[in-house]
Structure 1
Amino acid sequence: MSEYIHTAYKKTARIQTVVCGLLFSAFSFTYLYVFQSDILEALHFSLAHGKTHFAPLASAIIITVILLLLRWGVNSLLGLKGNVRALSYFPSCLILGALTDVGKDVYTGGYHTFWGWMLPLVLMIYIAVAYWLRRIFRNQLNHENNPIILMNCNILIVIVLCLMAALIGNTNRAFHHELEAEHHLRLRQYQQVLKAGEKSLDASRTLTVLRSIALSHTGELGKRLFTFPQHYRSGGLFFADDSTQTYRYTNDSIYYLLGVRPYAGEKWLTFLQNICYKGTGKYTALDYYLSALLLEKDLDTFVKAVNDLYEIEEELPRHYSEALLIYRDSHPEYPVQITDSTLVKRYITYRERQVGFTSYTEERNRMRREFGDTYWWYFDYQE
């Protein structure tokens, strides 16, 4: 009977080892390839200075295999048994979390992280504590426990350690959206840039600028700019000056797109106005200038710029036409007519929908649901 229990225990221990290994492998691969691929790509670019190509699938597989081998080595060193055998995954999970704990300063010069000294310290403490506990509980570790308890305890330990890794890693969705958009922009996948975080009503300044660049490349800045959240006025067309807020793209990328650099201390609106009226910039500069005026809600200057710089006989981009419909409300003598009957009908519906609400908050939210992709909503409700 005793021999039968011993055989069952050894069989359960082998099954537990395989199950825990598969559980960790599945988590590690999914975590690295699906959830943290953008973080790994950014870290790789920073460490390799962009000189080598990043392969997300191969990286996830190689890192997972290395962490499995590390677990095997740790268990061989510590000799953990019984209900706590899966504690040998602690270093692997800790490294997995530290590897993906990357912040916005990843591209700054001399990038470093506190994990450089924290990781070795924690691992040394872990080894020391594990040795100490193994000596104290030697008899308990050698005791053959119930196979079901053995399995459940070790699986629970692996799950807890995987959760620890996930909590250590960067889970800031805004940061992930920025890195995703930047990645696709580098590959000139402009429609993919626009899909990053598209369902969120929040948008960081960096993501807003990256979207503007992508829209400019596709010639849709005047058509789709306000289909995305705009919280930064004309500042949403340019990166913040703080280098920790930008990544591989900076304002130099935008100046190249526009064809001209501003003078030292020159404000962006003045800069855009000058290059448009002087004709020194590329064709993309006009849409940047008109979009900046719309973002600032300066319709008087916008209408003047449209008359001066745009061929009115041509069909105007959607948001420009939407702005002119607002302008005509207060300036009925304005001669330019919007010929898009569908757009005019929608604008009439927009004005009709604005009445009958009991509170401003209700009105703002209700109008966003139906007209949140228009310049009208931005002009009336975006603070």
Structure 2
Amino acid sequence: MNTNMKSTLTVRVMCALFFIVFTFCYLFFYQDSVLAMAQHVLSNGQTVYNRTIGALIITFVLYLLHLGVYAITGLAKRTFALNFFPSLLILTVLTDVSPHIDEGFSFGGWWIAIPLLLLLFLGLVYVARQFLPWEPEIQYNGFWSKMMWMNLMELVVMFFLVCSFSNINDVFHYRMDMEQYMIQGQYRDALQVGRKSAATDSSLTMLRITSLSRTGQLGNRLFEYPLVGGSSALFPDSVTTKAMVYPEDSIRYFMGIKFKQKMSPMHYLKFLEKHHLMKEPARDYLLCGYLLDKKLDLFVSSLLKYYRVDSVLPKHYKEALILYTHRRANPKIVYHSSVMDADYQDYQTMEHQYQDLTVRQNMLRDTYGNTYWYYYQYHK
């Protein structure tokens, strides 16, 4: 009897430890920015989510729920881990935050799924309790006992289901992580989020453009990232391109002035230029807008107004000038750089080296995917 009690206690302690560690880490390291956004939206910006306090409170409450479920069901031995099912179900629902929550809160399919899953759980509890008195005793071997590993495997399966049915959209997580850094003024840290991923959307593109501008790197690093939306992604439109937590108005105030009427980004920037209202960041926005739309002639015309054409030009502006010089029969300006001319020649050589379009594009992306040349030629 003492051996069985010791075995049961060890299983309970280990399962509780696994549950607490998983729940806290999942909330603290992965879902924190999504929960912060959800609280911000649902409270109309009146409250702020604290990742440490939030993760601790949610983990504690869900563990208390587990204790209550265990007191009611009495599930033990091989099925003890099932007592965590209601807690992990709630964890899944809490973290299945819709990317469109700002348009209105909805439980979505959970209105149907929750009752059905709870009925399934009750059915499993009933079956397990019927077989509980007949379960054979399992030899106790401490952590390596069969009972221990069966329960831990049940937990792992439930953890997998939590991760599968909560919000695990990479791009949405990148956006929320970036916005948390941005509202704290940590724009350089924001630029590291999802940097090696090719996944993006127009909202993520807009956040990266904002962070690059705030750090003075827009003309040097813009085309190092995957981009979607062209010049329309320069500013949020609150529909397809938007920020959920970061104040959108601050972007236009940073440019110069905010108007009540809605304008497209390029219309807005040209208006500022025409009426001499542009601050320095707006100049790079305008130039990068022309590059994003692949309008080289307009880019060159505007570039000459704001920059001296010399070696200190931002990297992407030099690349655009090299491209312009080689693609125009009578260019307004001829720009050469020994290093960049050599790189462009190598780029053209690689283009003619591979006949298959997919192979050529992949090879060029590996070497020159962070250049304006690659964007101009292969971005749709």
Q: 1:242 and 2:239 equivalent?
A: yes
| Structure 1 residues 88 and 265: alpha-carbon distance in aligned structure 2, compared to 1, 3 A threshold | closer
The one-letter code sitting in structure 2 at the alignment partner of 1:187 is Q
| Structure 1 residues 313 and 135: alpha-carbon distance in aligned structure 2, compared to 1, 3 A threshold | closer
Using the alignment, how far apart are the partners of 2:287 and 2:259 within structure 1?
17
List aligned pairs for 1:110-125, cutoff 5 A: 110-114=104-108, 117=111, 121=115, 125=119
Q: 1:32 and 2:27 equivalent?
A: yes
Q: How many Å apart are 1:206 and its aligned residue?
A: 0.8
Q: 1:156 and 2:153 equivalent?
A: yes
In structure 1, the partner of 2:2 is 7
Q: How many Å apart are 1:184 and its aligned residue?
A: 0.9
Q: How many Å apart are 1:18 and its aligned residue?
A: 1.0
TM-score, length of structure 2 as denominator length? 0.88
Using the alignment, how far apart are the partners of 1:63 and 1:265 within structure 2?
41
Q: How many Å apart are 1:323 and its aligned residue?
A: 0.9
Select 2:73's aligned residue among 74, 78, 87. 78
Q: How many Å apart are 1:294 and its aligned residue?
A: 0.7
Q: How many Å apart are 1:123 and its aligned residue?
A: 7.4
Q: How many Å apart are 1:89 and its aligned residue?
A: 0.7
The one-letter code sitting in structure 2 at the alignment partner of 1:359 is D
Contact 1:239 1:250 in 2 (8 A): no
| Structure 1 residues 230 and 123: alpha-carbon distance in aligned structure 2, compared to 1, 3 A threshold | closer
Using the alignment, how far apart are the partners of 2:241 and 2:146 within structure 1?
49
Q: How many Å apart are 1:326 and its aligned residue?
A: 1.3
List aligned pairs for 1:217-228, cutoff 5 A: 217-228=214-225
| Structure 1 residues 262 and 321: alpha-carbon distance in aligned structure 2, compared to 1, 3 A threshold | farther
Q: 1:206 and 2:203 equivalent?
A: yes
Using the alignment, how far apart are the partners of 1:363 and 1:138 within structure 2?
63
In structure 1, the partner of 2:376 is 379
In structure 2, the partner of 1:50 is 45
User: Percent sequence identity over matched residues?
Assistant: 31
Select 1:16's aligned residue among 11, 23, 29. 11
Matched positions, count = 376
Using the alignment, how far apart are the partners of 1:38 and 1:242 within structure 2?
21
| Structure 1 residues 230 and 119: alpha-carbon distance in aligned structure 2, compared to 1, 3 A threshold | closer
Select 2:87's aligned residue among 84, 89, 92. 92
List aligned pairs for 1:110-189, cutoff 5 A: 110-114=104-108, 117=111, 121=115, 125=119, 128-129=122-123, 132-133=126-127, 136-137=130-131, 139-140=133-134, 144-147=137-140, 148-189=145-186
Q: How many Å apart are 1:335 and its aligned residue?
A: 6.1
In structure 1, the partner of 2:58 is 63
Aligned with 1:185: secondary structure? helix
Q: How many Å apart are 1:13 and its aligned residue?
A: 0.7
Contact 1:184 1:193 in 2 (8 A): yes
Aligned with 1:15: secondary structure? helix
The one-letter code sitting in structure 2 at the alignment partner of 1:112 is S
Contact 2:232 2:264 in 1 (8 A): no
Select 2:301's aligned residue among 300, 304, 313. 304
| Structure 1 residues 345 and 243: alpha-carbon distance in aligned structure 2, compared to 1, 3 A threshold | closer
Contact 1:338 1:344 in 2 (8 A): no
Deviations 1:303-324 (A, max 9, x none): 1112234344683222112111
Using the alignment, how far apart are the partners of 1:313 and 1:10 within structure 2?
80
Using the alignment, how far apart are the partners of 2:197 and 2:212 within structure 1?
18
| Structure 1 residues 372 and 138: alpha-carbon distance in aligned structure 2, compared to 1, 3 A threshold | closer
TM-score, length of structure 1 as denominator length? 0.88
Using the alignment, how far apart are the partners of 2:379 and 2:364 within structure 1?
11
Contact 1:37 1:56 in 2 (8 A): yes
| Structure 1 residues 9 and 212: alpha-carbon distance in aligned structure 2, compared to 1, 3 A threshold | same
Contact 1:233 1:295 in 2 (8 A): yes
The one-letter code sitting in structure 2 at the alignment partner of 1:210 is L
In structure 2, the partner of 1:347 is 344
Contact 1:234 1:295 in 2 (8 A): yes
The one-letter code sitting in structure 2 at the alignment partner of 1:113 is F
Unaligned runs of 5+ in 2: none
Higher mean Cα deviation, 282-291 or 248-257? 248-257
| Structure 1 residues 243 and 331: alpha-carbon distance in aligned structure 2, compared to 1, 3 A threshold | closer
In structure 2, the partner of 1:3 is none
Q: 1:260 and 2:257 equivalent?
A: yes
CA RMSD of aligned residues (A): 2.7
Q: How many Å apart are 1:193 and its aligned residue?
A: 1.4
Using the alignment, how far apart are the partners of 1:134 and 1:322 within structure 2?
68
| Structure 1 residues 339 and 138: alpha-carbon distance in aligned structure 2, compared to 1, 3 A threshold | closer
Using the alignment, how far apart are the partners of 1:313 and 1:164 within structure 2?
57
